[in-house]
Chains A and B, each alone.
Chain A
Amino acid sequence: MKEARYAFGGDEHVFVEVDEEMSLEAFFKSLAITNAVRDSQIKGVTEICPANASFQIKFDPDVIKPDDMLAELKKLEAAAEKAEPRLQTRIIEVPVYYQDPWTHETLMRFRERHQDPNGTDLEYAARINGYGSVADFIAAHSGSPWFVSMVGFVAGLPFLYQMVERERQIQVPKYLRPRTDTPKLTVGYGGCFSCIYSVRGAGGYQMFGITPMPIFDPQQQLNYLSDFMVFFKPGDIVKFQPIDADAYSAAVEEVAADRYVPRIKEVTFALDAFNADIDGYNRKLEEALHAN
């Protein structure tokens, strides 16, 4: 990998582009450096934000001079190069009702902002990615696990990176013009990233379905969000599980009664072993998810 590119964002931010293009290698390096920044407790650092293939540090230039901040980060980059790309993390099952009525209603409402006004987002995504049918496309989207490579845009929204060879990765453009509305908990897609809209609002990603599982709870009333209001963190692994309308309604009721508990298992992820046998590694992750 190339050396990272450093740039100041005004007098209070350093922006570091680990790589222009997305890859798990770039994500792991970004995560390693941001973890090192957290551990080093540099005085004056106020926010540490890892992203897909880059990261950003917010700092107080009255405490640490911008050039000194830059020098500290470059030192940590050199150390992070040697870090083993290995992660203690968790795999989470996220149920998805693909082709649901709510995202369908919304995508029809904003059809004139879409590349293909005569189809649906799923039909368009399936076609341009070479899938014979929407069902095949859904099988691909839910067939492999995904890495949470960034949390942000709005509160608690995860960006998800597909854990397959680049040739097999799904890619779709964003809407031609962003929508002013997206249902809460829509499973979306833009560029090479899937996402889950944590709140209702504007959005430009294609809409594939909806999950009944809340991922942001500012009131912290749900059992699995009582410790913290945001569910995802970078490094989490997600497996989508297609569900039908009845299963969706049942899950919504479970959530309303606060009986819903997401399926979560602790796992170790090693990038080298993953790269050596991607499908085999993903099978093992899925076995771990369903082990009792």
Chain B
Amino acid sequence: MPTKVIAGGLATTIQDLGRPGYYHLGIPISGAMDRFALRAANRLVGNDEGAAALEAVFIGPELEFTEDALVAVTGAEMTPKVDGDEQATWTAFPVKAGQVLSFDFLRAGARAYIAISGGIDVPMALGSRSTYAIGALGGFEGRAIQPGDLLPLGKAAPARAGKSLPEALRRGSGSPVELRVLPGLYWHRIVEASQKSFFDDTWKVAPECDRMGYRFRSGKALEFVPREPPFGAGSDPSNITDACYPYGSVQVPGGTEPIVLHRDAVSGGGYFMLGTVISADMDLIGQMQPHTPTRFVKVDMDEALAARHDRQRMLDRMREALA
């Protein structure tokens, strides 16, 4: 029996762990921006970690249940309510047929993950249920959910209400945020003073921040090493011959406002990139609100891999706690 959407929130989409394998055709991986929160939410309600759940940005949806289910809300702090009664986040709670799940305003973070026992059972598109709205692919008819949509649910596995992830194992959102960056790609295109100022300055998340990428402002403009533009690159010093963009890569069009590409990344284009946010810090970006002060921290490959391993240990601890 499906769950009925009464209100969609701001841009609530169905996401799982994404759709790898089609980036060479411009179809990005998509999936939860905060994968840790998605995995935890699913585990709390007895789903596979990669089951499809709702990702609600800034404002939660309102959902009417037509069958009994377990729900867990992780990620952003946005208190869930069942027929008006407040529920704890990072904790599985029951919702009965006929009850309405709604949300209080956002207190911290940016994206809440709402897992429902059984998972959301929309059809797979290229191996994933994730919504890629730009391509009208996956999710619910390729778009954010809207009032009147009926979200089909899969078959729930046994799980109990009240299961909770200990606070120490949750990953919240801080401020200021530090994002670790491995310099590289077209790092050599900016002068030494700019290589320094990029990491010294405090940047702020711009209002233009979404699943494609996060834009930052308030830092000093970057200066470029003079050059004769290579054929095909274009005349602006920040242009390159159109190339692929890594997930997490930091492009700075015109040298002014860095953009970090995220799960719905454009797969390529003609702007130089100075480096890439390491995989361990990608989830953090999904919980950043506009205006969040941000420092980029320079790391090398060994530090990036060490951070990756720390993150895997954190995942393992979460899995043990919710086993």
Q: Which residues of A contact B (CB under 8 A)?
A: 7-13, 15, 17, 19-23, 46-56, 58, 61-62, 66, 150-157, 159, 166, 173-174, 190-193, 198-199, 201, 216, 218, 229-230, 233
Q: In this assembly, does B162 line the interface, its C-beta being within 8 Å of a C-beta of chain A?
A: no
* Residue from A173, A218, A230 in contact with B136 in the complex, judged by beta carbons closer than 8 Å: A218
* Residue from A7, A191, A193 in contact with B185 in the complex, judged by beta carbons closer than 8 Å: A7
Smallest beta-carbon distance B256→chain A, Å: 12
Q: A173-B234, A218-B137 are in contact. Are A11 and B242 (CB under 8 A)?
A: no
Are A10 and B278 within 8 A (Cβ)? yes
User: Beta-carbon contacts of B269-280 to A below 8 Å, as 1s and 0s?
Assistant: 110010111111
Q: List the 5 closest pairs (A to B, CB-CB), nearest first.
A: A22-B232, A9-B246, A10-B276, A56-B244, A21-B230
Q: How large is the interface on B (under 10, 10 to 19, 20 to 34, 35 or more residues)?
A: 35 or more
Q: In this assembly, does B27 line the interface, its C-beta being within 8 Å of a C-beta of chain A?
A: yes
Q: In this assembly, does B249 line the interface, its C-beta being within 8 Å of a C-beta of chain A?
A: yes
Contacts of A48 in B (CB 8 A): 24
Q: A8-B182, A9-B276, A48-B24 are in contact. Are A191 and B244 (CB under 8 A)?
A: no
Number of A-B pairs, beta carbon distance below 8 Å: 179
24 A/B residue pairs, CB under 8 Å, sorted by A? A8-B301, A10-B246, A10-B248, A11-B304, A12-B246, A15-B184, A21-B232, A22-B230, A47-B21, A49-B24, A51-B242, A51-B243, A52-B232, A58-B23, A66-B305, A152-B23, A153-B269, A154-B267, A156-B135, A173-B234, A174-B234, A174-B270, A191-B234, A218-B137
CA distance A159 to B269 in the complex (A): 10
Are A58 and B246 within 8 A (Cβ)? yes
Are A52 and B243 within 8 A (Cβ)? yes
Contacts of B268 in A (CB 8 A): 49, 51, 150, 152-153
Smallest beta-carbon distance B155→chain A, Å: 27
Contacts of B244 in A (CB 8 A): 15, 49, 51, 54-56, 152
CA distance A54 to B244 in the complex (A): 8
Q: A8-B184, A61-B308 are in contact. Are A13 and B234 (CB under 8 A)?
A: no
Q: In this assembly, does B125 line the interface, its C-beta being within 8 Å of a C-beta of chain A?
A: yes
Are A154 and B184 within 8 A (Cβ)? no
CA distance A164 to B162 in the complex (A): 68
Task: Find the A residue at minimum CB distance from B26.
Answer: A152
Contacts of A19 in B (CB 8 A): 230, 241
Are A155 and B232 within 8 A (Cβ)? no
CA distance A49 to B28 in the complex (A): 12
Contacts of A54 in B (CB 8 A): 241, 243-244
Q: A48-B24, A66-B301 are in contact. Are A199 and B185 (CB under 8 A)?
A: no
